[in-house]
A and B are shown apart, each in its own frame.
Chain A
């Protein structure tokens, strides 16, 4: 459970920093008067959807970190046999990086009011995300063909589980991306769409980051790191 505790500590620092900007030491019973008299503490200027996405990313991170906590606890039991990670995953990773880059491209284009660039970025990002998902399914199929079934070893179970949860999050993102693209297709004003494109890009970068962490975990790259952390804590 140390992973989730560390994660919550980071969140607590962020929340604490934010709260420290909110004049929590004010004495509201003495502060009668209109809003402008007392600086700080008003609603944020960010658009609500962006804050909403930020909160959602915190929740999704908590979910993944909890899975990772469970992974590291289950890993230390003797029956754990790491499975060979299919080479295909490296190709998939590359495709997901491309997807993220395409959406960043789209966002940059949106800032430049370049409608065509936004459209190309969105479609390229969406298409490569679909290819990534197909690649993940193919990787599952290959593992299954090689005899690594979901229930035959906890390492396999976690592999399928973590890739599935990540894939489902990406599928959810594709729904949002699809809606944004459809609106662009129907000729929505680019200034109205800039925020949607930006949110899609942020979500994609987040999922790329999550995937890289998961990949490190599944391939065993982070084992040394985990061991060092464990020694530090015990």
Chain B
């Protein structure tokens, strides 16, 4: 790494990269385990995230069993229920979705889509995965320590998070914060790679405005995550010190179990500010990669260029910036200065504008497109519908007067599961069906895929639509059991049982998907290099799955944007980004 400019045109990387710049594995261990190849790291990230995600899925079944059939299952008590809630939320938001979108898809797609051989700092990239794995192991270990995992809720609000009475007060909460701190360190290592690779390692001709929207989404989300995760880091470190050393950063003076505690003067509100300063951007850290990926899925499978590419890019950047000034809409009921709430309600509603632009552009891309209802396309369409549904209830909750009565009800659970649970998972699944052929060289089974889609999609609606209604009835969230409250009709209990049955069904249908992943690896139809006839660079690699270094001897050169589908007069309905302009145009260009 010397800052001598490359020969030839300044600022443009050479077509051939000298071998020294690329790390070559020498043994089985460095090829498949301690690998520095972003593609292997991506698969490691994805498998680890999926494994811990399955734990969170099982936790949700246990919660649903309790909610649907209270009193039936003696092995679930109130403390465990709180632990299940906490771990389910934390795993799904951070250890599954964030890790999968940025560590998984980011690692696999960024170098391939921008035409690079690998990430710019492969060693740091490898370290990032191993620190992430350690964070996951520390988190998983809390299930086996005395007292079990913490039951503080995924938001870990002090003072209750670290006081006696909250499950997991001994070990669970300490290990949870240690795990978060590790995760953030690991993520920062990976995030530096994703950002600098997009900035520095784009191949010749790949201007920013020729990047596929997937890269724009992941890039912007990574920048946001790099700036937002430090807030969680600060909050975790200070809470850990409150718990371990008895400092009073967040802990007010209070009586604990009949005796005056050692704490005094701390501000629980300060924790909430720090937590949500991370927590709200986190929503978009998950959503922006989903936005980007879904744009590419829709464009490819509708054989049409993305509508309003520039507007899509600007909207991604605008959403990224705005998401940093809306955090306190999670805190309307926290006791903060009330007028703050109206400022944050305004910014919250403003962020709906760029988001709505994106939804319109997806719909307009579909308009008169040559829509192929492949499995990735089905999931992409499922995403748009679900995101609109979840987003609209977000507008309800963004208003202070509506939020205050609904805040502690199932309405909120339904809202964020639609917008932040189901919608991004739809994209994850669609993206796996889309890129699995590139990763393995084989197609996923179509029949199993369609079955998986319909059960997941319809099931998600059968679960979460009724939940809005429960919330409007006033059914509280976080409760182990509802008891005999008079305002909750008996129909609400049967609805809860119904939701639980559907939730278990949808959960088991994911096993079909996992089976499909394994089965297709051996028995799937061979896909060839570009089964979806897509334009972006990752489909143009000389080998499938792409070899070490991605591009063989020469890096690709990019001549056009990523969305040349159904171009009038073109021989085929797609023109790859690295296909040179037609000869006639070249002659004209030389003459002018």
A: residues with CB less than 8 A from B are 1, 4-5, 8, 11-12, 15, 19, 22-29, 31-38, 40-52, 55-56, 58-59, 62-63, 66-67, 69-70, 73-74, 77-80, 150-151, 154, 157, 161, 165, 191-192, 194-195
* B310:A43 contact, CB within 8 angstroms: no
Q: Measured between C-beta atoms, what is the minimum distance from B448 to chain A in Å?
A: 37
* A70:B274 contact, CB within 8 angstroms: yes
Q: Is B13 an interface residue (CB 8 A)?
A: yes
Q: Is B5 an interface residue (CB 8 A)?
A: yes
Highest count of chain B CB atoms <10 Å: which of A32, A33, A80: A32
Give chain A residues whose Cβ lies under 8 Å from the Cβ of B266. Answer: 74, 77, 154
A41–B207 Cα gap in the complex (Å)? Answer: 5
Q: A38-B207, A45-B11, A49-B1 are in contact. Are A33 and B227 (CB under 8 A)?
A: no
Give chain A residues whose Cβ lies under 8 Å from the Cβ of B564. Answer: 29
Supply 11 A–B pairs (Cβ within 8 Å), ascending by A. Answer: A28-B210, A29-B561, A34-B559, A38-B207, A43-B199, A47-B2, A55-B196, A66-B274, A70-B238, A151-B246, A195-B1
* B201:A48 contact, CB within 8 angstroms: yes
Give chain A residues whose Cβ lies under 8 Å from the Cβ of B233. Answer: 63
* A44:B200 contact, CB within 8 angstroms: yes
* B208:A59 contact, CB within 8 angstroms: no
A25–B563 Cα gap in the complex (Å)? Answer: 17
B: residues with CB less than 8 A from A are 1-3, 5, 9-13, 120-121, 188, 191-192, 195-196, 199-202, 204-210, 223, 226-227, 230-231, 233-234, 237-238, 241, 245-249, 262, 264-267, 270, 273-274, 277, 305, 309-310, 313-314, 317, 321, 324-325, 557-561, 563-564, 580-581, 585, 589
**Residue ID in chain B nearest A189 by CB atoms:** B2
* A34:B557 contact, CB within 8 angstroms: yes
* B230:A62 contact, CB within 8 angstroms: yes
Give chain B residues whose Cβ lies under 8 Å from the Cβ of A55. Answer: 192, 195-196, 226
**Residue ID in chain A nearest B306 by CB atoms:** A29
Q: A24-B313, A26-B209, A52-B121 are in contact. Are A59 and B557 (CB under 8 A)?
A: no
* B270:A73 contact, CB within 8 angstroms: yes
Q: A33-B581, A51-B200, A63-B233 are in contact. Are A41 and B209 (CB under 8 A)?
A: yes
Give chain A residues whose Cβ lies under 8 Å from the Cβ of B205. Answer: 34-35
Give chain B residues whose Cβ lies under 8 Å from the Cβ of A24. Answer: 208-209, 310, 313-314
* B230:A63 contact, CB within 8 angstroms: yes
* A66:B234 contact, CB within 8 angstroms: yes
* A28:B5 contact, CB within 8 angstroms: no
A43–B120 Cα gap in the complex (Å)? Answer: 13
